Structure formats: C-alpha cells, structure tokens
Amino acid sequence: MIITVDIGNSNTVIVAYEGDAKIIHQRILTEKENPFEYYKQSFVSLNVKPEAVVVSCVVPVIQRAFCDAIQAVFGFEPCLVNADTINGFDILLDNPRDIGADFIATSMGAIGKYPLPAIVADVGSATKLTYTDDHAAFRGGVIIPGLGTSMKAFRDYIPHLPEVELTIPKNVIGTGTIDAIQSGALYGLIAQIEGLAQRMEEEAGQPCVKILTGGYASLIRDNMTGFVYDPDLLNDGLYEIYRKGMVS
C-alpha cells in the first residue's frame, strides 16, 4: 500500500493505493495550530501499514510536524515531493526551484493519464492553471486568487452585502443581490479559467487536453466547456511519481 497526501492551505486529501485500486479516500481540514497530534491521530485511525507515504505540501509551517507525525505512526519519513527531490521531471521555468509541489504532482498526473500537451486548472485556495508540453516538460502557468480567498476579500471590503452559499445559479443575469453575487463568483470563475486556458492554448500553438481539479472544481464542473473533471489528479500524480522512482 502507498499512501499519498495532498496538504493544501484549506484541506488535506489522503488517498491510499494498492496496485491500481484506491482503497482509502479521505478529505480532512488542514490543521495549522497543533499539526503533530492532529495528523498523528488521523493516520493512527487508518489502521494500516503502508510501504510509503508520498506528500505534496504547500503549507511550509506544518511540514516538519507532519513528517514527525508520519515517523511516529509508521516508523519512517515520508517522501516529500518538491523541486529538490524530484528526478526526471523537466521544469522549464526561469528558476526551476520556484515550482510548488502541487504543480509537480498535477503535471505528473496529467502526464500519466492523458495525451499531451495538457492544461491543468487546479481550483483551490488559489486558482492555478499550468501547462505541460508535448515532451512532458513543465512550462509554467497562471496563479490567481482562489474562490474562497476572493469571497473573503469581497466580504471584508463590502461588509454590508450578504454572505451567500457558493452554489451556481440557473442564470448568469441575477435578478437579486444573492444570485448576482453567486453568478459573479462562479460564472466569473468559469470565465477566468476558460478564457485563460484559451489564451494559454493559443500561446502553445496546438490543441491541449484541459483538466479540471481541486477543492472547488465540483462547484463548476457541470458548467465548464472542454474540460475533463479529475478530482484525484494531484494524488494520482504523487502515486505516479513514486511508482516511477522519481522522488529521492
């Protein structure tokens, strides 16, 4: 059994694999106040003995405590995926060490599962669109404030407006304040992603497979044009990295 862990700013996704089967799938909150005990208990409760734990972490302040928790539960250090530990993965950036673990993992997920070139839209605390070319090289991408981040800023700056549930309205043209805000947030996000992906594809100079993933992706998946929805792309990428021996 191989356990993969995607530690994001808001949520932590744990997926365990045996061969091609996913035998554990959990989404829990990311804990920043007492991460050692929180993650220790989370993994104790799984009651498993994995061969390895492969991790993408974009929250540096909890990384050491998370690794200590894995050591305490399983007796070994996890495999941390980052620019320093990845092997055999072409990173064609101005500074290759700038790449985040999540970018590496989603790109590898695309490489392992889809024809290339590919554009990945990872919709989480930040919305990230990345481009992997037809030679499986990571070329870069776009980072914009995420849906939750944008809505928090909206409430902070305009506090008299109502808080709204993040559900996509039937129509783009809202006939009330609540559905107008919902439309702006969700159809606005769709327009951002589709528009940026189109521009990226034009710069690439050839058609790209477009993949939608991330914590907020399920809210917009049915209204996206030309995207494949793949909620486990990042964890699948971590598993691909481990199976190919690409992490030291």
The one-digit pLDDT tens for each residue of the chain (248 residues) are 999 999 999 999 999 999 999 999 999 999 999 999 999 999 999 999 999 999 999 999 999 999 999 999 999 999 999 999 999 999 999 999 999 999 999 999 999 999 999 999 999 999 999 999 999 999 999 999 999 999 999 899 999 989 899 999 999 999 999 999 999 999 999 999 999 999 999 999 999 999 999 999 999 999 999 999 999 999 999 999 999 999 98
**Model pLDDT, residue 54:** 99
Instruction: Give, in degrees to the nearest 5, the angle at Cα 65 between 148 and 67.
Output: 105
**Model pLDDT, residue 114:** 98
**Model pLDDT, residue 248:** 83
Tell me, rounded to whole angstroms, the distance of Cα 89 from its chain centroid.
18
The token duo for 27 is: 């989404």
Tell me, rounded to whole angstroms, the distance of Cα 136 from its chain centroid.
19
**Model pLDDT, residue 109:** 98
**Model pLDDT, residue 26:** 97
**Is the pTM higher than 0.85?**
yes
Going by CATH, does the domain composed of 2-80 fall within 2.40.30.10? no
Topology at the third CATH level for domain 114-234: Nucleotidyltransferase; domain 5 (3.30.420)
Please tell me the distance from the alpha carbon of residue 246 to that of residue 238, in angstroms, as a whole number: 10
**Among candidates 57, 52, 66, 67, which has minimal Cα distance to 18?**
52
**Model pLDDT, residue 145:** 94
90 is annotated as an active-site residue: no
Catalytic residue (one of 102, 179, 232, 236): 102
Domain boundary assignment for the chain:
2-80, 114-234
- Whether 2-80 and 114-234 share one fold: the answer is yes
Sheet of strand 11-18: strand arrangement: 21-29, 11-18, 2-7, 52-57, 79-80
